[in-house]
A = this chain, B = another copy of it.
Amino acid sequence: MSSNDDFTIRPLRTFAAAALLACMCAAPGAVAAQELRDIRPSEGPLVLQSRGSFYVGGEQVDKTAVEIGDLGPDDQITIHQMYVEYMVPDGASKVPVVMVHGATLSGKTYDTTPDGRMGWYEYFVRKGHPAYVVDQIGRARSGFDQSVFNNVRAGQTPPDEQPSLLRLGDRFGSWTNFRIGPEPGQPFPETQFPVEAAGKLSRQSIPDLLGTSRASNPNWKALSDLAWQLDGAVLLTHSQSGPYPLESAIIDATGIRAIVMVEPGTCNAQVHTDEEIATLAKTPIFILFGDYLSSPTKLPGPSWEDRFNDCKAFKERVDVAEGDVRLLATADTGTRGNSHMMMMDRNNLQIADLILAWIDEKTSR
């Protein structure tokens, strides 16, 4: 038995249990079992002042029985509420950090990595920051409006008006678009992604129930509300959610002490007015990319190099307004091999340290 097993397999109580373990690798459940057995021992007790979960926002709406889903009578429900889980370390004195995941993922992104190591959620807490992890509205434990789907089912709306339930696939979405390797199943030689666990990344993926063509995104206001409720927080976002804090800050920057955008899908360099750019210039912003930016995604849409260049153009606009934007590709610092999912990469804690140092610098004033 490897030391990894010590965490999950408690002392054997009986011979039957020993026999069970002995045949574990051959048992039908073996692949699934590996998920739990992979988890590495923790690096010492975690002492929390508090932990828990709550919701931000949400909209109470009246719905028909059909829209709610055939259980009736007509009733009221809440939609578009945002789920937030949190941990506050004992003796916390540092600024809270709110973590937001990317497309077709959930708050799970920042927890235990696919190969069973500590994620950024727990690491930031161990470093003294209260950490708040959300599920984007339209995903996971957060709300969405199911009437859009039930109305199609009932023949009240044409099928093609139903949102597409987007999910990235394993071969191109996860492997080439997330820059684990140039081709599905073929890793970059220096990749930091735990490739033996690449298949498990897919288990973390769930579709986006808001669809892909929304103009105004309810997550923007929920995040500025959350930062405000926390009396000041750093918004740390990834990929799809990368640019959300820019919109949140334009709505209300009161609670937003700093913004960290990890591999944003876009920086919307040309979208904002000069007045909006002037607003954004008041908040320190750190934009972080990994390696292999010019590797083809094999999906429609911009390359990662395009996205980096868009963020460069965004930085230039904010620089003119005397703002504080740091734009960094980790590969340019001599750290090779970071993928799009750098919170899961083997050097995820090293990248976290880079972010934590910047946060401490920008929020200790």
**Would you call A55 and B122 a contact (CB within 8 A)?**
no
Q: Which residue of the partner chain B has the closest CB to A177?
A: B71
What is the CA–CA distance of A47 and B44 in the complex, to the nearest angstrom?
Answer: 10
Cβ of A4 within 8 Å of any chain B Cβ, yes or no, is: no
Q: Mark A142-167, 1 if CB is under 8 A from B, else 0.
A: 11101001101111000110111111
Interface majority SS (helix, strand, loop, mixed), chain A:
mixed
What is the CA–CA distance of A159 and B152 in the complex, to the nearest angstrom?
Answer: 6
Cβ of A331 within 8 Å of any chain B Cβ, yes or no, is: no
Q: Which of A97-131 contact B (CB under 8 A)?
A: 106-108, 111-112, 116, 118-119, 122
**Could you tell me how many residues of chain A have their Cβ less than 8 Å away from some Cβ of chain B?**
106
**Would you call B9 and A141 a contact (CB within 8 A)?**
no
**Would you call A153 and B164 a contact (CB within 8 A)?**
yes
Stretch at the interface among A57-65, A186-194, A284-292, A351-359: A57-65
| Complex contacts, A320 vs chain B, CB 8 Å | none
Measured CB to CB, the closest approach of chain B to A195, in angstroms, equals: 16
| Complex contacts, A334 vs chain B, CB 8 Å | none
What is the CA–CA distance of A32 and B57 in the complex, to the nearest angstrom?
Answer: 5
Q: Which residue of the partner chain B has the closest CB to A155?
A: B159
**Would you call A45 and B42 a contact (CB within 8 A)?**
no
**Would you call B36 and A42 a contact (CB within 8 A)?**
no
| Complex contacts, A54 vs chain B, CB 8 Å | 35-36, 38-39, 112, 116
| Complex contacts, A296 vs chain B, CB 8 Å | none
- Apart from the given pairs A71-B173, A71-B299, 8 other A-B contacts in the complex at a CB distance below 8 Å: A13-B232, A20-B231, A36-B84, A46-B48, A60-B199, A60-B202, A73-B298, A153-B160
A-B contacts, 14 of them at CB < 8 A, read A32-B57, A33-B228, A35-B229, A45-B49, A47-B48, A58-B203, A75-B169, A76-B170, A78-B203, A78-B205, A108-B141, A140-B140, A144-B207, A152-B159
